[in-house]
Amino acid sequence: MKNVFRRAVLGLITVGILAGCAGEEDTIVMAPVPQVKSQFTPKSSWSASVGDGVGHYFSKLAPEYAYDKVFIASRGGEVKALDPQKGNTLWRVQLGKDGSAKLSGGITAAYSQVFIGSENGEVIALDQETGEEKWRVAVAGEVLAKPVAEGSLVIVNTSNGILIALDQTNGEQKWAISTDVPNLTLRGDSTPVAVSGGVFWGTANGRLAAAIVERGQLIWQQPVGTPKGATEIDRLVDVDSSPILLGGTLYVVGYNGQLIGIDLRSGKATWKRNYSSAIDMATDGSRLFLVTDKDHLVAVDARSGTELWENAQLQHRLLTAPVIVNNYLVVGDSEGYLHWLDKSTGEFVAQQMVNDSGFAVGPTVLPDGYLIVTRNGKIKKLTLSE
């Protein structure tokens, strides 16, 4: 029974669909679209598509910009390299047949290759220049988080609570670190961050873990959330967000946990604040921007943890992780709207309806614009005309 529930899809739970069971007065309602007078209108440079996108599935396949190419994938297995200036296809490959690839673990470009993981428990390496498959290996668990490249290794965090390092040349496993996984967890895993010979990642049992990349040696774990409550749902404490590093401090937020600043070397908390979130944060170097489990947007001072502003007008609209574009804070929602906010005040400055299939990921920043990709696989390059 444990395996049936361990990777349960709890996205609906986190937005309160089950809250109605406690009574009609507890039913969670999506906030209406805010009325915004846009201060600017984006200009489209080109558009393209990639398969059927990710559909209604969890897969968070954001485009990757590297090697003067845009790499984009669909859950069904289509992977493309696009010219960032014109949008034309430079190469295209199909991984798996009839949508069986189940790509989900992000896209990472490094070592002249493109790495991507899948719900089938595979990590696949493609040549960045041609799309030729270089290697494919099976790992222990689904790969829902984006792989990370560090020290000639490709590091993946799997749904079984195992952090695995693979040789970038052939996919050979170099080491693995296991952490405990509760019976019930959120759908998703933390994308690791590698820096200065260390790798840092969130775990399903409510911790931020740190290890030495070269040896795969666990060096510390810092609690981010402690299970509380009578039911397994109440006791969810997943740390699915990717840590952010600013100077010598790591920042991470957990579901039913806290937003914490952690000293990089000692692993000790410098401050803690009560916020709950399961998606990645953004930063401009001095502030942290997060989307809470109620889809409230919050800005926090990175030095002290002091809340600077909160915007609750997008409550329960199933927001993407926030992204900074042209000095604005941007999120997409499940109905296909892009919302632009002033970073200093949290006030709306613009809004666009893009595609009613909605967004699974926020914009991807380019040197001369930004990319958006909708759940049905439509991709556009845009620039701002203010």
- The tens digit of pLDDT for each residue in 215-259 reads 999 999 999 988 888 888 888 999 999 999 999 999 999 999 899
Global pTM? Answer: 0.92
Number of residues in the chain: 386
Consecutive H or E run containing 205: none
Give the burial string for 4-37 (b: 16+ CB within 10 Å, else e).
eebbeebeebbbbeeeeeeeeeeeeebeeeeebe
Q: Which of 270, 250, 138 shows the shortest CA–CA distance to 200?
A: 250
Q: Around 266, how many Cα atoms within 13 Å sit in the side-chain half-sphere?
A: 6
Q: Which of 58, 111, 56, 51 shows the shortest CA–CA distance to 77?
A: 51
Beta bridge partners of 202: 208
Which pLDDT score, from 0 to 100, does residue 365 have?
98
Which pLDDT score, from 0 to 100, does residue 16 have?
38
Structure tokens at 156: 């993946």
Which pLDDT score, from 0 to 100, does residue 9 have?
38
Beta bridge partners of 371: 364, 381
- The tens digit of pLDDT for each residue in 145-179 reads 999 999 999 999 999 999 999 999 999 999 999 99
Cβ neighbourhood burial of 185 (10 Å; 0-12, 13-18, 19+): buried
Diameter of the chain measured on Cα atoms: 57
How far apart CA 307 and CA 79 sit, in angstroms, is 41
Confidence label for 25 from pLDDT (cuts 50, 70 and 90): very low
Q: Which residue's entry shows tokens 């070592």?
A: 111
- The tens digit of pLDDT for each residue in 265-289 reads 888 999 999 999 999 999 999 999 9
**What does pLDDT average to over the chain?**
92
Q: Please answer whether residues 308 and 287 qualify as being in contact, where contact means their C-beta atoms are separated by less than 8 angstroms.
A: yes
Domains in the chain (CATH in brackets) are 53-306 (2.130.10.10)
In this model, does residue 20 exceed pLDDT 70? Answer: no
In this model, does residue 333 exceed pLDDT 70? Answer: yes
Confidence label for 26 from pLDDT (cuts 50, 70 and 90): low
- The tens digit of pLDDT for each residue in 1-14 reads 333 333 333 343 34
